[in-house]
Every structure is written in structure tokens, then in C-alpha cells.
Structure 1
């Protein structure tokens, strides 16, 4: 189980009704409009493709010509190649045979990479079983927060490792019980990885499932480390935004609305936090060198690439699949190749993706606002039937 299973996509998903480095590059993409959908192989001047449609549990794939993939000639493929190289660290059977060529082409130019893809891969339009090709794009990110190794000086909110005796009691104590019961606190004694200043920041980190800490050590040294998902208390997730709405405490359950309520009601913050009984435990990972240029590991088991990794419903798109993502905005227009490298409990359906924007404040701002129309095209080796040798 990976960190993304516990996250509902982005900081905006704290509200329960909305979606969810450096930030992933978003200003240089080709904003070409999504073209009118035509029967597969029906683009003017091109013969019909010979591949057959394919059916998955939650989607159907219709083969198309490359000219039907919007903006394919304009994407900066060398950026996407970093994510493909990550794929090849743990390739799925369908794509393992291509990895030697993928590595060789890492130093090729975009035209050479494009020509190779057109020769080796067949594009398919992803649709729901009823033929609907429109879906939803949200986004997620990795928070970056200040923290201290020892409690004190304003750092009083713990991030815990798995508790002693974890697994002997299921479900484990709720969030409120962890904060208030002596027996829960005894099981967590000495298990704090680090301490944060703000309990709401801790909740955001719990929802995202992973984060970066600028960690002050006891000797005063500051290190950058990652806290990655290690497990949960097996309690159900409840949205604090939904709780605020149901209590008629806010009308605006966006993050600015929640923040305004918190500022005006500091004595009720714990009550809001305790409305979500789920609690996430972490493990510490070093974050240095090349590791710092990538995100946490997704469900595929490889590090996520900002702007080039997505979470999908694996019953619609198998892990490791190259995917063409096309969205017209309004937050950002994107036409680019990404890779299905992660999943999530809220990422369900045929044309559904959660876009990894990177880490830090700017990435979080984009992730919190991104909720817009989506179309997807999947690329599959020409010599294989889609779905075969995919796991």
C-alpha cells in the first residue's frame, strides 16, 4: 500500500467536495484545443488503423491515428523521458521490452523520440463504457514544511512512526483518542520523527500522505528529509470541510474559507480536526542528490516526476502506461505525455487522473485549484493487445 491511497488528491480535498521543485512546469505547454472526437482512424487523409478496440473493467480503448492526439508534435518529450526512465526501474511486462531503447533515446532529440513512439506504440482514446470521453483532472503535491527534531519552541505537533505493537489492535485509536488517551500516547512514546508548529499543517500532511521537512536538528543543523506514508490507524477518512458545512459553520469550504474559519475560531480547531478519525503514520527517508529532484514513490514503486506522473484508476489504465493528458483549463491548459505511476482512493473511473505538480507552496497552490475537464489517450506497444502482459 502506498501513500497516495490515503490522500484525496490535494489540499483542496480537505474540503471533501473539491479536488485535489519546484512546481511542475505548466506555463510552456501547448494550449491547443481538444479536437472534435472522430471515429477511430477517421482523421482526414489517413487510413483507418488496424488495431482493435480493447475493453478494461472500467474503460474501453478505441485505437486512433497519431494526428488525433492533440498537441503531440509540440510536447517537450525530453522532460517526459525522465518519468519513462523511472518506469524502467520497475517496468511492467508490457513495456519491459522497450526499456533498452527508451534508455538509448534519452539523449535523442524530440523528433527522434516522437518518431520512435509512432513506430512502436499505438495510441488509444480512453472512454467510459458508455462512450463518454470526458472526465475529471485534479492534482496533488508534496507539502514542504518547517519542523524540529525535538519538541519545544513552538514545535508541539508530532509526526509519528508506527506505534509500538501496531497491528495487534484494529482499528487503532482514533485521531481524538491519540491526542487524549494516556494508553494511546504511551504506545507512541518516543515514536515522534519530528514536530510541526501547526496541527492543520499536520492534517494536510496526513491527507497528502508524504511531505518534505526542513528539519532543525538538536545541533542546529538544518536538513531536508522526506516523511513517507507508513500506515494508518484503519479508521475511516472524514472530510473536515464536509464537517464544517454540515455544522453550518462555513458556506465556503475551499481552503481560504476553512483558513478564515480557523483564524476566527482557534478554540474549535481540535473539534474540527477530530471530526476526521483517520491518522497517518510515517517513516523518514533521506532526501539528497538526485532523490531531491523527484517526488515520493507511487503505487508503481518508482519516484514520481513533477508534471509527468499521474494517479489513475488501475481498472481503467494499467500502471506503467504512457498516457496523453489533454485539458483546456481554466486553471491550466495541458497537452502532454505523462505516466500512470500511482493510484488513489478518490481516483475512480475511466477518464480520471490526479496530476502530480511537485512540492512546495506553488505546487500546492496549483494542486488546490486544479479541477477541470479531461481527456486521455493511452499508448500501448503495437505488437501487444491492450491489457495483455500489463501487470
Structure 2
């Protein structure tokens, strides 16, 4: 039995589901399902429940150790102050993807490594790892001229890289959207965990706001801390007409109804029944979400990042969210996974 399924409001989930169909309607196993969705005119909750019950089979997601609970975190679209040119105030660069960054799809050579990609650069006749965050910050990468924007806060830029998308307010008051373009291939390391290990923060203090407060108090140690995370994200400017950031599926995310998942376990675009609690709370949060994004820190079966939307309040919720949860994937009938 799916938690709260009979009483759940499916209307916002339906909006997000139709976005998934924009990307999946020509994919095997999805054509019929998405065609049926297009044929529903202003369905009510009863009709939507019937649509999902008749067309999908739910499977609970289980971890490798047999457990059914996992970590549910949150992310959002932050707002930064920036400029298209460097000034005394705006001096931290937001880079486009560099020309020398290679992406090698290992599955094309070794089918057993499907969905695994290697990023690096050519050095002589060898492919070597791309530059780390420390090397990029030290100016070792050929990035001059690849600056899209300059922003006024190194910590805000760091968290923009973690979130993967955001909006930049320019000096004239206009807002521009930026989104994920590529990544340097290095693993994501949590600086919150590093601060806990260093005895600088207690576990309950290691939220986004707690890290920002620490940074404000220790500006001389900030660079060394940020370099503990060797991962580095590059950006692209997005059309201003987009309603929301584009997720890994290639469609705009839906506030509070899109999640980032590990695509090795959950197929991109699929509906996922998420059963968790609100940030710093025991109040149930049971909702039909859509798996429309991925993230460098989102690894494992029962693991999701909940998209809260744009702005300060969304950031508060995202920064506080470290809940336990369970997940059920809804597979279109006929595409169910093989169970041994």
C-alpha cells in the first residue's frame, strides 16, 4: 500500500508528469502512456488515480543492504548578485565549460559500464583527470575568457555549484538564469562534513546557513575549506523564458514535485512516490514526485534531492532538509524491472 495514495492531491504531480512526457513520449515503453496522458482533459483526482493505477506498477526501492530507508535532502534555485564584467565588487567568476574538457562514455567501449562517463583532459598522449577546484582557483586551468558572469560572494558561488542552477541579479536589476553545463569529473565532498570532522560545527549546525555563518567568521580559512571539495561545476546561460531550471531530463523542474535521483537505480522521468517528513519535522510529506534531475551527491538507491523552487524561503527549506524516507518507483506496465 502506497502511503496516503487514496487521499493524495495528484494535480501538481500531473503538471510535473506532463513535463516528463515531453522528454519521454518517443521512448520505448512510454509512447502509449504519454499518449493516454495527452488524451485526458482536465482530469480530477479520481481520474488521475485511475490513470496511474491502470498504467503503472509500483516497486519499492531497496538499498543494497536490504534496507528501505534512505537520505532525502533538498535543493533550490538561489539568487546571486553579479555582473557580466569584473569589478572590485564582482570578482568571483562563473565559468562556461572549458574547451579542453573531455567526456568519454565508457559504455560505448565496455557495455557493462553503461551510464558511466569519464571526464578528463589530454596531456601529451594520455587522458588525465581534469583540474581540481584547487587547481582551477590557482589559475592552472585554461579558463580565462570563459567567464559568463562575475559574482560578489565566493560562498554563494560555491553553493550555486552545488545547487546546479540559479538566477543572477545584474546591476541594472534584471535577472538572468544560469544552469548546469558540465562538471570537472572529481567527486563531490561535503564541506559540512569536513567542518564537523574538524570540530568547527556540530552536526545540527552544518546546514547551508551554518556553513555561511562559519565562512563569515573565518574569511582567512574559507579558500582552504572550499578546496576540500575538488568537484567544480561549469554553467551556461539559459533562456529567460524558462519557467524553472532544466533538470537532467531536459525539461523544466516543478517546484516541490521534482526530485534528483541516481539514474543507475531510478529511470529519469519516472513517477516516484516519496514518503518522508518536512525539514526538521516529523510531519509526514507523502507525495508523487517526478525523477527529473540528477546530482553529484545523489548516489545510491533510496536517495533523493527534493527541489523546493526559487528564492530565499526555498533556500531555507532546502538547507534544513536532511530527512529519512522511503521511495516507490512507478514503472509503465510492460516495462517493469526483472526481479530475480
| TM-score class normalised by the smaller sequence | 0.7 to 0.9
Residue 141 of structure 1 deviates from its aligned partner by 1.6
Q: 1:104 aligns with which of 17, 20, 39?
A: 39
Q: In the TM superposition, what are the counterparts of 1:41-52 in structure 2 within 5 Å?
A: none
Structure 1 residue 304 displacement after superposition: 1.8
Aligned residue in 2 for 1:303: 252
Q: Residues 105 and 245 (structure 1 numbering): CA distance in 2 closer, same or farther, change over 3 Å?
A: same
Instruction: Specify which of 165, 172, 182 is matched with residue 210 of structure 1.
Output: 165
Once the two structures are superposed, what CA deviation does each residue of 1:64-107 show, in whole Å capped at 9, x if it has no partner? xxxx2222232222211111111111214222211122122252
TM-score by length of 1: 0.71
Q: C-alpha deviations, 1:35-84, integer Å up to 9, x for none?
A: xxxxxxxxxxxxxxxxxxxxxxxxxxxxxxxxx22222322222111111
Look at both structures and tell me which one has the larger radius of gyration over its CA atoms. 1
**Aligned pairs, how many?**
309
Deviations 1:185-223 (A, max 9, x none): xx322221111110011111112222222234xxx3x43
Match of 1:282 among 235, 245, 268: 235
Q: Does 1:72 align with 2:5?
A: yes
1:162-195 Cα distance to aligned partner (Å, 9 max, x none):
23544445433333333334x54xx322221111
Change (3 A) 1:378 1:171: closer
Alpha carbons 2:269, 2:291 under 8 Å: kept: yes
More strand, by proportion: 2
Conserved 8 A contact 1:81-1:106: no
In 2, Cα distance between the equivalents of 1:93 and 1:313?
21
Is 1:86–2:19 an aligned residue pair?
A: yes
Shift of 1:225: 2.1
CA contact (8 A) 2:188 2:296 kept: no
Is 1:319 matched up with 2:268? Answer: yes
CA–CA distance in structure 2, aligned partners of residues 135 and 278 of structure 1: 24
After superposition, the Cα gap between the structure-2 partners of 1:191 and 1:122, relative to the gap in structure 1 and judged at 3 Å, is: closer
Per-residue deviation at 1:227?
A: 1.7
TM-score normalised to structure 2 length: 0.81
| Structure 2 gaps, min length 5 | 102-120
1-side partners of 2:329 and 2:188: how far apart?
Answer: 31
Are the equivalent residues in 2 in contact too, given 1:318–1:387 (CA < 8 A)? no
Higher RCO, Cα 8 Å, sep 6+: 1
Query: Contact between 2:209 and 2:319, CA under 8 Å: does it hold in 1?
Result: no
Unpaired runs of 5+ residues, structure 1, are 1-67
The superposition leaves residues 233-256 of structure 1 with CA deviations (integer Å, 9 ceiling, x where unpaired) of 334433333433444444443334
The corresponding residue for 2:337 is: 387
Residue among 83, 87, 96 paired with 1:148: 83
1:269 aligns with 2:222: yes
| Greater than 6 Å deviation, 4+ residue runs | none
Are residue 133 (structure 1) and residue 91 (structure 2) matched? no
CA contact (8 A) 1:136 1:374 kept: yes
Residues 72 and 155 (structure 1), Cα distance of their counterparts in 2 relative to 1, 3 Å cut: same
In terms of mean alpha carbon deviation, does 201-210 or 127-136 score higher?
A: 127-136
Would the alpha carbon gap of residues 256 and 168 (structure 1) be closer, same or farther in structure 2, given more than 3 Å must change? same
Instruction: Tell whether the 8 Å contact from 2:57 to 2:336 is kept in structure 1 after alignment.
Output: no
